[in-house]
Chain A
Amino acid sequence: MNLSRRHFAALTGASTLLAAAPALAQPNRRPRVLVFHKATAYVHPSIQTGIPMLNGIGEQDGYEIVATDDAEIFTTANLAGFDAIVWLCCTTDTQFPESEWLVGTKRDAVQAFVRSGKGIVGIHAAADSHHYWPWYGQMIGGYFDRHPASPNVRPGHLRVVDRTHPSTRDLPEVIERADEWYLFRDFNPEVNLLVVADVQSVQDPGSEPLRQQWYSSQNQATTRLRLPEANPKPISWHHDFESSRVFYTAMGHVPETFSEPLVINHISGGLRWALRRERRRGRG
């Protein structure tokens, strides 16, 4: 792979061009995207529709998609052949550090991948993973804290707050769709917010908010201060992290999610951006 790329550059004299425009994808091969979906805590049925959705995006946008739940793929040599990793609902257990599969040299490989400027896309429960590896939480930009329970899947009222990004420029400003709506802990306020959920998405109108049921994977959650939510909640965002581009969306709980054109558009735009095949409007 490296040889052919160097060969191509030498043939066309494109090395200076590539150096000058690192944001542009190399034209000589299809981007390869690793879809990783190992789950040692809750296994989302939506993984089974998320993979075909990403295959479809690959077909449409010209990527080679490799889906696996085998963590042995995380070696520096293996990852060198990929341009982006999609973390698809890849949960681990908050109570058990030993449930985490990115350990030892696998961590080194993922960090080297990120630091080499490759792309990262996190979907839904990708934020409910590796609570014991701080760097992972920095990469995503926050950790799943809780979601409304009974019912967990409920109508949501979303607002797109930035429509300059490839993941949002085709979306309407206001979106009504059902999902399981996450609230985050340790959320990085410096990420670039794309989509928020209005409070009615996480509160039952007409009922006493403090009496609503919540699910949390955090054991200390019961002792924390609870108030009726009054402010919008982050749902999708992006940031530049240690040379890589990271796009995350909390959407994606139920299998039907990944046949929604709007969600497919959102994620495919996020992936295009993470792969540096498309820029934000008027920006880098």
Chain B
Amino acid sequence: MLSRVVTLLTAVLLTACASISTPAEAPRVLIFSHSTGYRHASIEEAVVALRQSSEEAGYSVEATEDPDVFSAARLANVDAIILLDNTTNRQNPETDFFSGARGEAFQAFVRRGGGVVAIHGASGGHPNWPWYRQMLGAFFERHPPGEQDGRVTIVSPDHPATRGLPTTFVRHDEWYYFIDYDPTVRVLATWDPASIGEPDVNPNPISWVHEFEGGRVFYTGMGHFAEHYREPIFKAHLAGALRWVLRLEE
């Protein structure tokens, strides 16, 4: 009996320790929305919404567009980075901003177990840095012109980012195709090209996760428009993703 109580207590303690790295401190989230390529008009509103939902979840939040935040010192206190629409100009390698020490700080962050939630245009940056593409799992290739109502299917319902979401739903967005997609990532959601009149016959990946070099990475290609960041399904998707990369929920 006593041993069972001890076991139970140990389990409770372990769970508490595992879920929050320093119980006294809130997880720290950095929202990073710098871009040197196509500038998404939704960024400002998205940052406000992401800040709000992250604060509601009990995290301490910093939002910045300063690429120098990618330094060992300034990332030292960060548990998760939200990469929002960080495009670069693919024709001009000089627009890549994760160069030199910034890139090294980013790698060190991931390798010490940091979390990354990367959204939409985050896959449209740094084509000249293979590590970034490995970390993210793909590179943005193109999207059909305009915006469409596309059908999304949740293919991994047992993940914090998808738990409780409808199995399939239609939403308005700009729909991405990828190149250099890593087929070993865990796909969470796909979109159906036929649902927007595209000729492709197989589903396309749209949200996925993987453990990468010690860190946890989530990416979604959804989220072009400002209203998405007030949309219950998309908000739940991102909030769950953030919990997963912060190791608060498995």
Contact = CB atoms under 8 A, between A and B. Distances in A.
Interface stretch (B68-76, B166-174, B199-207, B233-241): B199-207
Interface string B113-146: 0000000000000010011011001110110000
A232 B130 CA distance: 12
A188 B127 CA distance: 23
B118 to A, nearest CB: 15
Contacts of A142: 202
Given A161-B184, A193-B183, A196-B184, A227 B139 contact: yes
A152 B64 CA distance: 47
A141 interface: yes
B179 A193 contact: no
A179 to B, nearest CB: 18
Contact of B203 (A188, A196, A227, A228): A188
A234 B141 contact: no
A193 B187 CA distance: 12
Interface string A135-159: 1011001100000000000000000
A226 B127 CA distance: 10
Interface residues of A, number: 25
B133 to A, nearest CB: 4
B183 A189 contact: yes
B201 A227 contact: no
B249 interface: no
Chain A contact surface mostly: loop
Contact of B201 (A186, A190, A225, A229): A186
B202 A187 contact: yes
Residue of B130, B155, B190 most packed against chain A (CB within 10 A): B130
Given A227-B127, A231-B137, A187 B183 contact: yes
B205 A189 contact: yes
Contacts of B130: 228, 230
Contacts of A161: 184
A134 interface: yes
A190 B181 contact: no
Interface string B71-90: 00000000000000000001
A193 B182 CA distance: 11
B73 to A, nearest CB: 29
B112 to A, nearest CB: 22
Residue of B131, B137, B179, B205 most packed against chain A (CB within 10 A): B179
Nearest to A227: B127
Contacts of B204: 189
Contacts, number: 66
A28 B17 CA distance: 59
A231 B142 contact: no
Contact of A232 (B142, B182, B203, B205): B182
Contacts of B134: 230-231
A141 B202 contact: yes
B149 interface: no
Nearest to A185: B200
A29 B164 CA distance: 47
Interface string A179-223: 000000011111001001000000000000000000000000000
A189 B127 contact: no
B180 interface: yes
B178 to A, nearest CB: 10
B139 A189 contact: no
Nearest to B201: A134
A232 B138 CA distance: 10
Given A188-B202, A231-B180, A231-B182, A225 B141 contact: yes
Residue of A135, A138, A232, A233 most packed against chain B (CB within 10 A): A232
B175 to A, nearest CB: 14
B180 A227 contact: yes
A246 to B, nearest CB: 12
A224 B141 contact: yes
8 contacts: A138-B201, A141-B202, A187-B181, A190-B187, A225-B90, A227-B127, A230-B130, A234-B183
3 closest Cβ pairs, A-B complex: A230-B130, A231-B182, A134-B201
Given A186-B202, A225-B139, A231-B183, 8 more contacts: A137-B201, A142-B202, A188-B202, A193-B184, A224-B179, A227-B179, A227-B180, A230-B133
